[in-house]
Structure 1
């Protein structure tokens, strides 16, 4: 279905480009509707799908099943360490991007096995002891491969695993969630239900929700994987547990029970990469047919492949992604067609008005028409100039004026100085409460594990706080911008109405009701642009590592005493007494708690500093990018083009030379013919829009 939507995009672009060429619209009309920007969004949009999972949950196999190709390593010995993104290209290659800004390209490797082996060096931690530290050296890896799914801007992002033994991996994964369009969480049935696992999953889900400015969860998907390896009762139990955990976090969780391996193998078979005998020899391919008989080995035949694929349930995940993709991006098609139709209607209005003006000029004997046109043009230019200044004042006052409590800048300052401080205090209390729960489970031998889990949760919570701050800032900016545009809309509509009234009074030509402006489009475009400013902000590491002090704390809280008893007493005479080790657990926990408290103090300061940096970053963007963008879109992109469009009509009347009777007739015929063609094109546009929207195609 993703491919179906992309095909609709391609056909829309092809049709609209052809229609624009046929319509031959004036520059003022094209610029005012900004149809090129909409076509650019339609053609160059990227749809990133991130796949997140604990180690060994079958993440790479799942991605390979989506891709329909054995591209990513599925070895039990390796763990993804660098963000790896699969993109489309005709010629296979990989781009290795290092943290120092340098890049290395791997290409011209004909053998897939050798290519995968080479790529694994840059994307994975090898549990057999490879000394190359991927996460320290490499920023991200982009793999380009001729895979149909990734055509037209679809990208699959393989993230480092959750609960990895390498602490940087969680931060890498948390950060990438901010820049993707959809997130798929992969889980093994045996891990669902574990208290700490589900606690972390909830935090990651909250983190993923915060990546959308409306806090939506429609882009989040869940997969209970490996259903071919577990009894149905265990899979159902995991499914039920997951739904329970997600209650109150996700509105209507999209959970799929999947066999990534079955999906991958059947796709490989369908595409001719393996044969039916490969499926027969595979000991992992076992299933129960529709009649309840177990099938494996030689009993598998070609007719069983659809059954194996149906059991895999990969198609359901793919379809659900496609539905979300169309919901998220389908508006682009209607937006382009709406702009095309409005541009054609404006062009028809321009042609009609020009013909009427030419007719007036042709019949005018007194020269009075020219005088009226010059007078009206002077009036109009003055009104446009006055309105531009008013709009600039409104924008400055509503966005940047600190003397106004209603301005965006004042509200952002209030958000930081009041709400941010309260948030930091509240989150410290939450961290303390979380530690009180965690420390109850500490023993001499598991302290490092308890600390790792605790700070993993804290790390995610802090990321959520940062994203929440961004969301609140975005909402402040977005609401005020909408209000600002509506204020300007009233003034511009008043100008349009005044000009139409003056035009009708002076020239006795009825004006069209078509407006040069579409403010709903403007608000949508501004919202899209502003949201980009809030996406993809990375965070720094946020907690102190206490592990290094654990050995010392264990030693400080361990003492040795002589074993009680008469026999041991006599042994002591000969220096052979038995001694017992006493570990002061309470003191040990108290020492750790002091370290944690110190770390939380540091965290609290760093969180406040992070929010201050975010406030500064947002304020700078407001002062520069957002105000410039609003002025550009509203004044230069709309108002000035409107002025040029109207002036162009009036200047027709300035020319002293009258058209001849024959020339006027020719102009009239051409104008009428073009309007008729444009009317036909409008009707054709409507049917083309319907046809494209109802387009269906086979996808996997």
Structure 2
């Protein structure tokens, strides 16, 4: 799925090791670049994919299809109740964290003490992640399965969430804790479900929530999978697709919809990797595929041979989804690759430019008086130092003015607070209108026995609506911050461009020529890193805000519940000793008469609670912006300092060269010319390989594995 990204990453990391060991590439230039920080970001770059689906849509089979292993139980009774993550490790093991207990359990063996296999791991997971044991979701926070899976090698994590719409649904975990923290969300859909009214309402809410939980434009991170194309007719699948597009209209303009057979994808991959014998496929009555020789007919049973593994995968269309998902994830973390590539180019070109400048100056100094030349160098060093200090102060002032504001301008905090305050007014009106509408509809069905259930349903719907609205508000605030930070980086780059010109003027004035471009006064690499920090902070703040909203709704609901003494003679007798029992419930006898007033009161409480949220929402966003601005200032300072260090070192080295005799100088020039040739060869080789990777050699390799790409 991430083959090209993984191949490029591996090549770059190997090349960096080569550059660090090379006697031709200037180590001082490497050491005074941003390469080490960028390598750390590249190595830590991760890809999280969450699977969300209604119960019985075939989610476990789909995950098994993606990973190519029969790992998660496909038993329809084994409904997932615990968040399960799949990550890479050389050995199979299971990590269990608990809700109320800080300890972490690591399971590496089965009940017999044998190392876990995929089969024994599957049996363990069936016990600890499904609703067969009703205590699982009360005890276990999450389960992480570590396996030697190629698809997870490059920090890819696949997250299986509890099924939607079931009685065991973990609404908060799915919509508020998991989705904001992943790179991509896959909504998996059973063709039978799409037209149902309950499904339509719920899926729109979940998709809207997923869209609001990311800063991506128009839900680009959301994928939709219509499963079971092996079970349903083509007409049924197309009908389901059309209905899904109708459901998503107004939410996502161009939804990324794929039609797959998770079952065929899993079986085809297992056959390809020899996890299944051909006899297992031949005995499977579900497996029927178009005849490769004549697609109008199907083949099954003993007609299917080992070489048909790729045909089974092709029929499943699972590779098409993987390709689309891989391309998105690669583009998501593309800046990690491009930043490193850009720095490598700069290191190589800086080394060559430095060598050329040194050669030119050494040839000039032979004809010049040493004392005069040293004076020129010292004077230039002084001017470079002065420019550095002036620039640093100017940029710090620029950052401070934009983020903190001043006498003449609004600060970022003012802008965000004004934005959130204005939006909260609109949200409060929407909440009041929405609660009234839902309550007016719901109260018509109320009787003595269902009153509490209906009110709870209205409040849960209101909570869902509230959280969705607040998420969208926070999202808009973060998008505004992204724009401000991007503008700030652009302003900084403009200042650095001016500094570059001044440095060149100083070099020409003092030495009669400029150093060419030695050292990189460019902040392009800060854009990707800063935007990534904003997105990470967005997910963390979003989880916190959503939880805060839910607590406020719960507080509002609890204020409408009274404590009532439990009836019965025994409780009366216990009361004589001050030990009577009470239970939480609505006063149902009075309740029906007072419901309208209760809902009005609840609405007022929610409005008041929401108005209190302005500071709690704005503060973390502002704090995050200040922290990012601080990081930018620090990184820019390092960039400027590194460039000055390199230029100063060039001048210091030139002074040392002046102490050599003419033969030694000529020998040094010859060595530098040889180094230029060697570094140029490395640069040419680097650009050729980058071009190959960009043109998609990996796509060719994939086409050998599956006819999907042919």
Q: TM bucket by the smaller chain? A: 0.7 to 0.9
**Correspondence 1:91-490 to 2 at 5 A:** 91-99=91-99, 100-109=101-110, 110=116, 112-126=118-132, 130-132=133-135, 134-166=136-168, 168-285=170-287, 302=306, 306-365=310-369, 367-401=371-405, 403-437=407-441, 439=443, 457-490=461-494
Give the number of aligned pairs.
663
Task: Check the 8 A contact 1:85/1:141 in 2, yes or no.
Answer: yes
Distance apart, 1:186 and its partner CA: 0.9
1:112-151, CA deviations, whole angstroms, 9 ceiling, x for partnerless residues?
A: 444323223332222xxx341x333322211001222212
**Cα distance in 2 between the residues matched to 1:656 and 1:2:** 50
Residues 531 and 30 of structure 1: CA distance in aligned 2, closer, same or farther (over 3 Å):
farther
1:17 is the counterpart of 2:17: yes
Q: Secondary structure at the match of 2:433?
A: helix
Task: Check the 8 A contact 2:496/2:522 in 1, yes or no.
Answer: no
Structure 2: stretches of 5+ with no match in the other structure:
111-115, 565-587
Aligned position for 1:580: none
Task: Check the 8 A contact 2:50/2:160 in 1, yes or no.
Answer: yes
Residues 666 and 141 of structure 1: CA distance in aligned 2, closer, same or farther (over 3 Å):
same
Task: Check the 8 A contact 2:353/2:516 in 1, yes or no.
Answer: yes
**Cα distance in 2 between the residues matched to 1:307 and 1:551:** 64
1:420-476, CA deviations, whole angstroms, 9 ceiling, x for partnerless residues?
A: 333333343234334445556667787777667655554443333333233223233
Distance apart, 1:158 and its partner CA: 0.2
Q: What is the RMSD of the two structures over their aligned residues, measured on CA atoms? A: 3.4
Task: Check the 8 A contact 1:170/1:456 in 2, yes or no.
Answer: no
Task: Check the 8 A contact 1:176/1:536 in 2, yes or no.
Answer: no
Bigger Cα displacement from structure 2, 483-492 vs 343-352: 483-492
Distance apart, 1:366 and its partner CA: 5.8
1:87 is the counterpart of 2:91: no
Residues 608 and 31 of structure 1: CA distance in aligned 2, closer, same or farther (over 3 Å):
farther
Residues 533 and 31 of structure 1: CA distance in aligned 2, closer, same or farther (over 3 Å):
farther
**Correspondence 1:461-610 to 2 at 5 A:** 461-512=465-516, 516-537=520-541, 538=543, 539-540=546-547, 541-542=550-551, 543-544=553-554, 595-610=598-613
Task: Check the 8 A contact 1:207/1:460 in 2, yes or no.
Answer: no
Aligned position for 1:77: 77
Task: Check the 8 A contact 2:345/2:683 in 1, yes or no.
Answer: yes
Task: Check the 8 A contact 2:657/2:665 in 1, yes or no.
Answer: no
Distance apart, 1:381 and its partner CA: 1.6
Distance apart, 1:185 and its partner CA: 0.6
Aligned position for 1:642: 643
**Cα distance in 2 between the residues matched to 1:549 and 1:656:** 86
**Cα distance in 2 between the residues matched to 1:177 and 1:278:** 37
**Cα distance in 1 between the residues matched to 2:296 and 2:354:** 72
Aligned position for 2:569: none
Task: Check the 8 A contact 1:439/1:589 in 2, yes or no.
Answer: no
**Cα distance in 2 between the residues matched to 1:448 and 1:241:** 34
Task: Check the 8 A contact 1:227/1:258 in 2, yes or no.
Answer: yes
**Cα distance in 2 between the residues matched to 1:657 and 1:120:** 76
**Cα distance in 1 between the residues matched to 2:41 and 2:687:** 21
1:572-595, CA deviations, whole angstroms, 9 ceiling, x for partnerless residues?
A: xxxxxxxxxxxxx99987765555
Task: Check the 8 A contact 2:417/2:614 in 1, yes or no.
Answer: no
1:689 is the counterpart of 2:690: yes
Task: Check the 8 A contact 1:188/1:224 in 2, yes or no.
Answer: yes
Bigger Cα displacement from structure 2, 106-115 vs 287-296: 287-296
Task: Check the 8 A contact 1:162/1:170 in 2, yes or no.
Answer: no
**Cα distance in 2 between the residues matched to 1:551 and 1:499:** 76
Task: Check the 8 A contact 1:420/1:611 in 2, yes or no.
Answer: yes
TM-score scaled by structure 2? Answer: 0.84
1:67 is the counterpart of 2:67: yes
Aligned position for 2:629: 627
**Cα distance in 1 between the residues matched to 2:227 and 2:325:** 17
Residues 16 and 427 of structure 1: CA distance in aligned 2, closer, same or farther (over 3 Å):
farther
Bigger Cα displacement from structure 2, 301-310 vs 477-486: 301-310
Distance apart, 1:234 and its partner CA: 2.9
1:613 is the counterpart of 2:619: no
Distance apart, 1:601 and its partner CA: 4.2
**Cα distance in 2 between the residues matched to 1:450 and 1:82:** 28
1:239-275, CA deviations, whole angstroms, 9 ceiling, x for partnerless residues?
A: 1100111122222212222222222223223322333
**Cα distance in 1 between the residues matched to 2:204 and 2:74:** 26
1:629-672, CA deviations, whole angstroms, 9 ceiling, x for partnerless residues?
A: 0121111x211112212222333465696211122111111111
Structure 1: stretches of 5+ with no match in the other structure:
554-584
Aligned position for 2:572: none
**Cα distance in 2 between the residues matched to 1:551 and 1:609:** 25
1:260-308, CA deviations, whole angstroms, 9 ceiling, x for partnerless residues?
A: 2222223223322333333344344456765656765566555665554
Task: Check the 8 A contact 1:191/1:197 in 2, yes or no.
Answer: yes
**Cα distance in 1 between the residues matched to 2:109 and 2:27:** 47
1:597-649, CA deviations, whole angstroms, 9 ceiling, x for partnerless residues?
A: 554444444444455323121222333x22320121111x2111122122223
Task: Check the 8 A contact 2:82/2:162 in 1, yes or no.
Answer: yes
Residues 157 and 666 of structure 1: CA distance in aligned 2, closer, same or farther (over 3 Å):
same
Task: Check the 8 A contact 1:83/1:140 in 2, yes or no.
Answer: yes
Bigger Cα displacement from structure 2, 55-64 vs 16-25: 16-25
Q: Secondary structure at the match of 1:240?
A: helix
